[in-house]
Amino acid sequence: MAVLDPCVASIAKPKNGQARAGWSLAFPALTLMALILLVPIIVACVLSFTNYSLGNPGFDWVGVQNYERLFTRSTYEKMFVATFTYVITVVPISVGLGLGAALLVHSLGRIGDIYKTIYFLPVMATLLAMAIAWEFMLHPTIGMVNRALEMACGTWFEALHFFTNGCAKGFPLWLGDRDYAIYVVCLIGIWQGFGFNMVLFLAGLTSVHRELYHAAEIDGARSGWERFRLVTWPALGPTTVFVVTISCIRAFQVFDTIEAFWPQGGGPNKSAYVMMFAIFEKGIQQNLIGIGSAITMLFLLFVMVLTLIQRWLVERKVHY
């Protein structure tokens, strides 16, 4: 019979004890994480296969009927179009403007702190309050935007039929026209988001070593574009991955602006009927928990798939 070496036994016992102590300390955090993150997702997944509504004593299992409705009805087709239009428009523009603003502010030295504050103000402002301010600015008669266009260009925009559908339910024409409504929301999203991206890129720029620029200059990279292409952009790879990921998630979560502009409909002819507003309308306003949960699961799936795809594409050329 083999006898365990006393030295080995003395070493093994503390390690086992440390492992048990570590799991016991981590157990409350893991339990809380499961209750807050995993359990709601599982419950929403189960409810998406039912016709459950709050207040009803029971519910029926409907299988994939809720998901079939999402892919067969025109209302939900408009939901997908509005959501992906917003994401595809806001993410690249806000990331590009954030990078450009970061490069400009970083080159200004101490005076750049003033521009940091100015560009970051929309991020700190309450988006609901800012949406109301934008609604007044876009008013067809007293709004700043239309008045500025009239002063600058006369009546040329009327000849080009910029406003063709008239005022819809008292909303401004920019917001009452289905051809422009979602792009107005995109404009506000870009205005509100690129300052946040700028701050993230500024943090990434501080980690780029000056020696890299000196080495690139010795190798012949004299122009600003060559230094950016050969040094700055590759060094910002990890930051870009993070910024794009965060921007995609924030774009999918747009809700405040839609609720402020169109609290009852998601835009003229559902032109700004994004997924978060659809979840709110079906799950909260109409108490259709089943279909609301189905939209929620699709929302989580789109965010996860999009995040994994962009990370796979971007990280192939990222150097940590």
Read off the pLDDT of residues 172-224 as tens digits, 9 standing for 90 and up: 467 777 888 899 999 999 988 888 999 999 888 888 887 777 777 777 777 77
**In a domain? residue 60:** no
**pLDDT for the residue numbered 168:** 37
Q: Can you give the CATH number for the domain in which 213 is found?
A: 1.10.3720.10
Question: Please, which residues have CB within 8 angstroms of residue 139's CB and are 6 or more apart in sequence?
Answer: 146, 172
Please check whether residues 36 and 153 belong to one and the same domain.
no
For residues 73 and 41, state if they share a domain: no
Both 72 and 140 in a single domain?
yes
**Are 32 and 83 found together in one domain?**
no
Query: Which residues does 98 contact at the CB level (< 8 Å), separation at least 6?
Result: 193, 194, 195, 196, 197, 198, 200, 201, 243
Residues 271, 275, 281: CA angle, nearest 5 degrees: 85
Same-domain check for residues 137 and 41 = no
Taking all residues of the chain, what is their mean pLDDT, rounded to a whole number? 80
Average pLDDT in the 106-125 region?
77
105 plus 247 within the same structural domain: yes
- Same structural domain, 91 and 43: no
56 within domain boundaries = no
Q: Determine, yes or no, domain membership for 61.
A: no
Q: Give residue 317's pLDDT.
A: 59
What confidence score (pLDDT) does residue 291 get?
A: 92
Give yes or no: residues 180 and 300 share one domain: yes
Instruction: Give alpha helix (H) positions in 219-236.
Output: 224-227, 233-235
The total of structural domains in the chain comes to 2
**Whether 32 and 117 share a structural domain:** no
Structure-token pair, residue 261: 């502009």
In a domain, residue 171? The reply is yes
The residue written with tokens 């079906």 in the block is 282
Is the residue at 139 inside a domain? yes
Q: How many CA atoms lie within 13 A of 224 on its CB side?
A: 3
pLDDT band at 275 (very low <50, low <70, confident <90, very high): very high
pLDDT reading at 310 higher than 50:
yes
Query: What would the DSSP string read from start to end of 50-118?
Result: B---TT-S---B-TTHHHHHHHHSHHHHHHHHHHHHHHHHHHHHHHHHHHHHHHHHHHSGGGHHHHHHH
Residue 169 confidence (pLDDT) above 60: no
In a domain, 87, yes or no: yes
Please say if the pLDDT value at position 1 is more than 50: no
**CA–CA distances in Å: residue 312 to residues 171, 245, 318:** 43, 11, 10
DSSP characters for 306-319?
A: HHHHHHHHHHTT--
Looking at the whole model, is its pTM more than 0.85?
no
Quote the domain boundaries for residue 41: 1-47
280-302 residue pLDDT tens = 989 888 888 999 999 999 999 98
Q: Which amino acid is at 203?
A: A
Do 47 and 293 touch, CB atoms closer than 8 A? yes
Q: Considering the domain boundaries, does residue 7 fall inside one?
A: yes
Asked if residue 271 and residue 127 are part of one domain, the reply reads: yes
Q: Are residues 80 and 18 in the same domain?
A: no
Q: Name the burial class of residue 98, with classes exposed (0-12), middle (13-18) and buried (19+) by CB atoms within 10 angstroms of its CB.
A: buried
Same domain for 31 and 131, yes or no, is no
Residue 10 maps to a domain: yes
pLDDT value at residue 170: 38
DSSP 3-state assignment of 295?
helix
Look at residue 155 and tell me whether its pLDDT is greater than 60.
Answer: no
